[in-house]
Amino acid sequence: MAVNAIDVDPYTSLSDEDCEARILAAKEKLGERLVILGHHYQRDEVFRHADFSGDSLKLSRQAADSKAEYIVFCGVHFMAEVADILSRPDQISILPDLSAGCSMADMANLAKVERAWQELSQVLDPDQQVTPVTYINSAADLKAFCGRHGGIVCTSTNARHVLEWSFSRREKVLFFPDQHLGRNTGYNMDIPLEDMVVWDFDLPMGGLTKQQILDAKMILWKGFCSVHQMFDVSHIERFKEKYPDAKIISHPEASFEVCQASDFVGSTEYIIRTVHDSEAGTRWLVGTELNLVNRLHDECKAEGKSVHFMSPTVCMCSTMFRIDPQHLLWVLENLVEGNPVNRISVPVEEAAMARSALQRMLDISP
């Protein structure tokens, strides 16, 4: 924390209403020196203050293009890291609450990925035969690993383009940390399920035989999103019984079975666009995070559409939820005083390697 920074404690007892006017006042004072980026999973009280909203790809581009001195990222840790990596060295990336991580990103770490690479080298020559692909939901050191080993980053929007690029260079892909995005995308590219094996990072050789590794086209890290794994085909079946004409739309972090039972699959931005673009009277069942679905429901009511959440239980991303108006206000009022708190700063060499893997992704993305 910067010297003389204002302490967070008094902010935690403020009501959301108290925060609202003060956030607006701080934004006004900071003017063009500040940009607030907000992911679609953010709660309304925070989301409404975002200058730009979007999915991971769109927000990465916003961060790369921004001229603002301060980039306050209302999202999770890996997003603020990407903002730091893609912005100029004199820009400052800030995450209002440092505990806003991503449980899926935490399922892969550098030690385990390096061990996997080393174990694969007992069977084949990974630097010649395997492209490492990391989902953007991962720590900066894993993006740097991909940069060092001729690999690349992907998001839910461009995973197919990234896999096509990867297979045009090397015969296999090691995909981490989300097995579902890897499997759903690979299957849509006509890769049979039996050619996609799961690497169990807790087992020697990922729990695979030498032959399984040699035969595989994609090696999928055994990671998943705890929010999207709550969705089940039985939810879709029950809904379809009640509303046979309903349309089903899901995020590709949902399971293979859920995505196969869906009419549309895509990123958060794609989901919002597709539902908005549908005809009046359309009924939707949506398999992604609750804050997004609730907002879409409210927006679409006026358009004569009904939007339903896929799971009977509450599936909020609890780490996205940690960004609250109180923390947003705290970082903004500190910025007004010239104290950047909660800065996210990726070490220079790691950032350079991670940037090369991110840049490859940006160069080939539609």
Q: Total residues at the site for ligand 13P (CB under 6 A)?
A: 11
Regarding 56 and contact with ligand SF4 (CB under 6 A), the answer is no
Question: Measured in whole angstroms, how far is the alpha carbon of residue 88 from the centre of its chain?
Answer: 22
State the CB neighbour count (10 A cutoff) for residue 209: 11
Please state, in angstroms and rounded to a whole number, the distance separating the CA atoms of residues 262 and 272.
15
State the CB neighbour count (10 A cutoff) for residue 248: 21
Compare residues 122 and 313 and give the one whose CB is closer to ligand SF4.
313
Residue 344 assigned ligand-binding role = no
Compare residues 130 and 271 and give the one whose CB is closer to ligand 13P.
271
Residue 251 assigned ligand-binding role = yes
Residue 135 assigned ligand-binding role = yes
Regarding 81 and contact with ligand 13P (CB under 6 A), the answer is no
Using alpha carbons, list the distances in angstroms from residue 297 to 245, 286, 301, 304, 311: 18, 10, 6, 10, 15
Site for ligand SF4 in 125-164 (CB under 6 A): 137
Site for ligand SF4 in 244-263 (CB under 6 A): 253
Residue 219 assigned ligand-binding role = no
Regarding 292 and contact with ligand SF4 (CB under 6 A), the answer is no
238 neighbors 261 (Cβ within 8 angstroms): no
Question: Measured in whole angstroms, how far is the alpha carbon of residue 257 from the centre of its chain?
Answer: 21
- How does DSSP assign 187-222, residue by residue? HHTT--GGGEEEE-TTSGGGG--HHHHHH-SEEEES
332 neighbors 27 (Cβ within 8 angstroms): yes
- Near ligand 13P by CB under 6 A: residue from 27, 38, 42, 55: 55
x/- mask, ligand 13P, residues 112-151, rule CB under 6 A, reads -------------------------x--------------
221 neighbors 176 (Cβ within 8 angstroms): yes
Residue 156 assigned ligand-binding role = yes
Q: Which stretches of the chain bind ligand 13P, using CB under 6 A?
A: 40, 55-56, 137, 155-156, 225, 251, 253, 267-268
Q: Binding site membership for [4Fe-4S] cluster: which residues? A: 102, 225, 317
Given the rule CB under 6 A, which residues bind ligand SF4? 76, 102-104, 137, 225-227, 253, 289, 317, 319-320
